[in-house]
Amino acid sequence: QENEIKLLTAEIERLKNFGCLGVSPSLEGLRDENAKLKYRLNFLQKSLQEERSKTAKSMININSRLQEIFGAAIQAAYPDLENPPLVVTPSQQPKFGDYQCNSAMGITQILLKTKEQKVSPREIAEKIAKNIPANECIEKVEIAGPGFINVHLRKDFVSKQLSSLLMNGVQPPAVGKRKKVVVDFSSPNIAKEMHVGHLRSTIIGESMCRLFEFAGYDVLRLNHLGDWGTQFGMLIAHLQDKFPDYLTVSPPIGDLQAFYKESKRRFDTEEEFKKRAYQCVVLLQSKNPDFIKAWELICDVSRKEFQKIYNCLDITLIERGESFYHDMMKDIVKEFEDKGFVQVDDGRKIVFVTGFPVPLTIMKSDGGFTYDTSDLAALKHRLCEEKADILIYVVDSGQSVHLQTVFAAGQMIGWYDPKVTRVAHAAFGVVLGEDKKKFKTRSGDTVRLIDLLEEGLKRAMDKLKDKERDKVLTAEELKAAQTSVAFGCIKYADLSHNRLNDYVFSFDKMLDDRGNTAAYLLYAFTRIRAIARLANIDEQMLRKAASEEVLILDHEKEWKLGKCILRFPEILQKILEDLLLHTLCDYLYELATTFTEFYDNCYCVEKDRQSGE
């Protein structure tokens, strides 16, 4: 932007000279050109100002800042080294300082391999330390052991960052150009109830969307519903038999799950019904209005049930099911054919993707499309129409090979370049019962999600009554506490586990107010709010104090808490890169326990025994 401003300013000067000399073939044209350039110049200057003021208010990623400093030091010490290793991490123990640079060991290996020079890591560490440029954040460095560089931060630097944080609020580091992120999550099937398997995709997907929104990205949240396909043939045929006047009178399908089971039983046992079901699919796919109406009725019943769960868990989604991509599938097949990627196998049209043994089937022998076709159509639409810079599929690990094949096919045909566009499968493991087996009901059925949420509400209320909260809270406050605890604990229990692993679902562990649980974090948060309430200090008073006074971090627990708070941007950066949200939960738990240590050692507020003030 700065370069463009220089160029535009020079161009405006040149046009001014043109006008003065009167050499212009069309003065009007020059004026127009001049106006456009001035408009562009104003726009750029304004957006650069906004970017700078945003950056000034943003939290600093201390780890990134230290990497810049050590990157410059290594460059000065070893100018001939290409891409030297740059390793900066927070110290595990306070006696070793606040951060550590562990690059010396890696550089030793490189010098030995490329230049056959044998230099000890300690010697390299000393050379790096001597070349550290002047900076605002390092108090001192010490070399320890075989070549670790221990970094001690300046107290006034940390103090300044905390005051800035208090005055400007929690502003994540600026992301540069506002990129578009598309997240595909939840994705239940129409006519089937949401079960415990949908819980993880829904919770993880929602949290990823909030993360990218918080960091300043433009996020599109998509619910890829299973709302198209052969199962609708049997559902529509059954609807016609059970509610023949469905076109004029809205059918009272109360229990869609039972309705689905009845139609499936008939499909498996009645030959005549099966034939009719296939005919219904053909009529639906040819967009016959009566059959479209039947399909919409069935989708609406499901939609209402899904929405109850989304309301409970505070989930926001845009529905864009398989049916949305139906009209694009013909073109997808043609595109693969035109590029010469299609082979015919027993009447089916298949596509082999380099590196994957199982081909994608993009057209069945009867001319119908498959999940492969709809997934390819969705991928293309998200990349080419939605212009996604980052595309994330929050889908269980079982779909890994299928999704990687689809992504590779999109790359092969030229829809995206992985160096420019990030397409990622955020996979997750299954939910297990306390017996470490797949989470089922006593009768062996899949656990309905709505039953699970209701059980959570019941357990949360029992816990609140155990703590006698019902005696001090109004009915309305108690209800709010119940939903916060129940749904907060269910979400946090999922998010605090590494999503790649299976996790054991246990209400007892979730609702325990000790350890890394939502209950403990809610307790710590309430305690923090209570201090402000007791001291009768609001945010405005704190901001005023932060702007006028220097925050002195004398006590070791104050220093520890201050540094812990400022690690937030590092955590944010890490989870935006690897999409592993449990890192954030671990950080929040560390922050809460560090706060508790501070609270136990440093009085924040005391009451006067006489006056009660």
Task: Assign residue 563 the CATH number of its domain.
Answer: 1.10.730
**pLDDT over 70, % of the chain:** 92
* CA dist., res. 73 & res. 79, Å (int): 10
Q: Which of 486, 378, 464 is nearest to 423 (CA)?
A: 378
**pLDDT over 90, % of the chain:** 65
Q: Are 529 and 551 part of one and the same domain? A: yes
533 — pLDDT class (breaks 50, 70, 90)? confident
How large is the average pLDDT for residues 525-552?
89
Q: Are 240 and 212 part of one and the same domain? A: no
What pLDDT, on the 0 to 100 scale, is given for residue 23? Answer: 45
Question: For residue 389, is pLDDT > 90?
Answer: yes
What pLDDT, on the 0 to 100 scale, is given for residue 25? Answer: 46
Q: Are 38 and 117 part of one and the same domain? A: no
In a domain, 442, yes or no: no
Strands of the sheet with 348-351, listed across from one edge: 342-345, 348-351, 360-363
Q: In the listed set 247, 269, 302, which residue is the last one of a domain according to the structure?
A: 302
Question: For residue 168, is pLDDT > 60?
Answer: yes
Q: Are 364 and 270 part of one and the same domain? A: no
pLDDT tens-digit readout, 271-293: 999 999 999 988 998 889 999 99
Question: For residue 463, is pLDDT > 60?
Answer: yes
492 — pLDDT class (breaks 50, 70, 90)? very high
Helix (H) or strand (E) holding 412, with range, is: helix 400-412
What pLDDT, on the 0 to 100 scale, is given for residue 392? Answer: 98
What pLDDT, on the 0 to 100 scale, is given for residue 610? Answer: 87
* CA dist., res. 328 & res. 362, Å (int): 12
Q: Which of 575, 587, 573 is nearest to 175 (CA)?
A: 573
How large is the average pLDDT for residues 302-324?
93
In a domain, 165, yes or no: no
Burial class, 547, CB count within 10 angstroms (exposed 0-12 / middle 13-18 / buried 19+) = exposed
Dihedral Cα 523, 528, 534, 536, nearest 10 deg: -140
How large is the average pLDDT for residues 134-142?
95
What pLDDT, on the 0 to 100 scale, is given for residue 123? Answer: 93
What one-letter code names the amino acid at 89? T
How large is the average pLDDT for residues 529-548?
88
Q: Which of 603, 556, 553 is nearest to 154 (CA)?
A: 553
Q: Are 241 and 209 part of one and the same domain? A: no
What pLDDT, on the 0 to 100 scale, is given for residue 1? Answer: 64
**Choice among 5-14, 61-70, 387-396, 447-456 with the minimum mean pLDDT:** 5-14
In a domain, 434, yes or no: no
Question: For residue 24, is pLDDT > 50?
Answer: no
Assign 351 to helix, strand or coil: strand
* CA dist., res. 62 & res. 71, Å (int): 14
What pLDDT, on the 0 to 100 scale, is given for residue 21? Answer: 43
Q: What tokens appear for 580 in the block?
A: 């592993």
What pLDDT, on the 0 to 100 scale, is given for residue 49? Answer: 64
Enclosing domain of residue 336: 180-226+321-428
Burial 108-118 (b: 16+ CB within 10 A, else e): bebbeeeeeee
* Contact call for residues 308 and 380 (beta carbons, < 8 A): no
Question: For residue 52, is pLDDT > 60?
Answer: no
How large is the average pLDDT for residues 390-403?
96
Q: Model pTM? A: 0.86
Q: Are 464 and 558 part of one and the same domain? A: yes
Q: In the listed set 302, 336, 359, which residue is the last one of a domain according to the structure?
A: 302
CATH number at residue 148: 3.30.1360.70
481 — pLDDT class (breaks 50, 70, 90)? very high
Q: In the listed set 361, 394, 428, which residue is the last one of a domain according to the structure?
A: 428
Domain count along the chain = 5
What pLDDT, on the 0 to 100 scale, is given for residue 7? Answer: 72
417 — pLDDT class (breaks 50, 70, 90)? very high
Q: Are 488 and 349 part of one and the same domain? A: no
How large is the average pLDDT for residues 239-259?
85
Helix (H) or strand (E) holding 453, with range, is: helix 449-466
Helix (H) or strand (E) holding 535, with range, is: helix 518-535
Q: Are 466 and 535 part of one and the same domain? A: yes
In a domain, 97, yes or no: yes
| Residue 287 vs residue 392, higher pLDDT | 392
510 — pLDDT class (breaks 50, 70, 90)? confident
Assign 442 to helix, strand or coil: coil
Q: Are 562 and 457 part of one and the same domain? A: yes
Q: How many CB atoms lie within 10 A of CB 578?
A: 11
Q: 458 CB contacts (<8 Å, ≥6 apart)?
A: none
* CA dist., res. 320 & res. 209, Å (int): 16
In a domain, 241, yes or no: yes
How large is the average pLDDT for residues 178-201?
91
* CA dist., res. 290 & res. 457, Å (int): 42
Q: Are 220 and 298 part of one and the same domain? A: no
pLDDT tens-digit readout, 6-22: 776 776 666 665 544 44
In a domain, 424, yes or no: yes
Question: For residue 269, is pLDDT > 90?
Answer: yes
Q: 132 CB contacts (<8 Å, ≥6 apart)?
A: 69, 70, 72, 73, 138, 141
Q: Which of 596, 515, 589 is nearest to 557 (CA)?
A: 596
Q: Are 526 and 384 part of one and the same domain? A: no
Q: What tokens appear for 463 in the block?
A: 């816990």
Give the length of the chain. Answer: 613
What pLDDT, on the 0 to 100 scale, is given for residue 196? Answer: 84
Question: For residue 557, is pLDDT > 80?
Answer: yes
How large is the average pLDDT for residues 428-440?
85
In a domain, 78, yes or no: yes
pLDDT tens-digit readout, 251-266: 877 778 888 889 999 9
In a domain, 607, yes or no: no
Q: Are 219 and 93 part of one and the same domain? A: no
Q: What tokens appear for 90 in the block?
A: 């927070």
What one-letter code names the amino acid at 576? L
Alpha-helix residue ranges (DSSP H) falling in 116-230: 121-130, 155-168, 196-214
Mean pLDDT (the chain) is 89
How large is the average pLDDT for residues 526-539?
87
| Residue 360 vs residue 191, higher pLDDT | 360
Burial class, 102, CB count within 10 angstroms (exposed 0-12 / middle 13-18 / buried 19+) = middle
What pLDDT, on the 0 to 100 scale, is given for residue 31? Answer: 61
* Contact call for residues 101 and 66 (beta carbons, < 8 A): yes
* CA dist., res. 488 & res. 520, Å (int): 11
Question: For residue 200, is pLDDT > 90?
Answer: yes
What pLDDT, on the 0 to 100 scale, is given for residue 131? Answer: 96
